[in-house]
Structure 1
Amino acid sequence: MVAEAPGSVRLALAPNVVLLNPEPAVSSAMKEGWARQQSARFLQASTIQPRLRLIQRFEDFTGLYPWQWTPADGEAFIVHLRSGAKPIQLSTARSYEVVTERVGRMSPRSINEAFVTARQDAGLDEDLDLHCLRHSYITHLTEFGYPARFVQEQVGHTHASTTAIYMGVSDEYRNQLLEASLKRRLGDDWDLK
């Protein structure tokens, strides 16, 4: 028998018991596994615990589980923290943004520099910029068959038409869609030959 990996939700759930509401147990197991990963990277409890508290605050604020969060939820949370009776400082809000394992905030400049280095190492066209990854991500999700609504939510778009602007599917994919549609419509009358 293969042992479950530490952090597996199956270790947190009782065997042969079907939960009517498994989301809280899954969320708790996710956070426990994440805390163990942080510990395995030699981060101290004094670093991990505030991060877990922040995740819990965010979960409480949104009323959603981590797998349901969108970029818009993150923005609303920061706006919420920056307003009210005791607003947080801008520097504190920035520390809640993209953070590396070593607690350093990744600036757009450092992300772009890493992209430029990777692009040059791969010998890609210099006209490609970091934003091209967003277009590629949306296109690949679409071509791999993910539902349109899922793709839209992944990139935080309110309208499907915005997501469509980013999509650049291949001719092969378009032909496959057209062929599948014709086969559904024409059934046995459809023949490519």
Structure 2
Amino acid sequence: MQHTGVDDGLAGAARMMLVEGVSFLDPETAVFEAMLEGWARQQRVRFLKPRTIHARLHLVRRFAAASNQYPWQWTAGEVEAFLSQLRSGDRPVRMSTLRAHECVLRLFMQYVTDPRYQWPDVCLQRFGAAPMMVLHEFNSVRHVADVESRPERRALSYDEVQALFDAADGLADQARARGRKGGITALRDSIALKTVYAFGLRRREAWGLDLPDLRHNPRIRHFQRCGALFVRWGKGSRGSPPKRRTVLLVPEMDWVVEPFEEWLEEIRPLLNTAGLQAVFLTERGSRLAPRGLNAAFQRARDAAGLDTELDLHCLRHSYVTHLVEFGYPPRFIQEQVGHAYPSTSSIYTDVSDEFRNRLMHQALGAFAPFMWEAP
């Protein structure tokens, strides 16, 4: 098989995936599987996470099964019918999910249509047809909105945050009053939720906290070990390791110091903590799983009577919103939450009417004091 103008040593190239001179009993399936394995290799050399690669391969297989065709047979009509079906029925996928599916299929088609990977030549020689790009700007969902999450997912108001924490404390008090074994873990859940909000953490960031990650702030000594948190499990870009950052405790959140120190000094040692560095542990002495943080939020949310659409990540939205209302500059907030771009932080912001009225008061007061009427 002659190949010109291509790099045979490129990870995922057809010549590396198929042995010349070998005949297959089912050549279509064999070539398709070789394509998928080649694409997986191409993504692995870019250091994409295994679960990302697995999910992408699963979607391509899913589309192939739905169309009952192979990539060199796919048409724009087939992919449009597949995506339309996902948006119909009793449980249609969200628009953001549909766009993500389109992106995955487009990436796969870019791989198999790129002459450097030799798949067009292989398919032409074996099947008389080559893969074509079937997704383009005319049949792809346009990204016209900055925020596509469900409207119910929002920042909590100050009263809602207080109600959530009161409910979490109440669950702990009830467990202790009944003498139940879960009293310590209920206290842990309450402290964990307060920590997530007070530092604006993601779920995985809170999960990965270890005792050495607790830092003193030499300028604010009374914050003790809560002066700052060194986050080692920040959200990384595709193909990159987790990003690290230091999150300072702002004075408006200093109420977390006392319960956090109580957890470290009095409550956490009651668990099986020998040789363990994790801040939040289970009764069995293992690190609290991310789903455990989700469950803690759900229990407190339901006990407080809050909207069931709210989830743990809403506390991070609340943190960003409240820092804005406290008057912190955008750059500081961006660094605190580990966003690469200011626009990302702005998406998280849902300031209150009171805050907007305060800004209006300041603006109108400077322009014409008599224009502002006191309530």
TM-score band, normalised by shorter chain:
0.3 to 0.5
Structure with the larger helix share = 1
Greater radius of gyration (CA): 2
> So what's the TM-score if we normalise by structure 2?
0.26
Q: Which has the higher contact order (CA 8 A, sep 6+)?
A: 2
> So what's the TM-score if we normalise by structure 1?
0.48
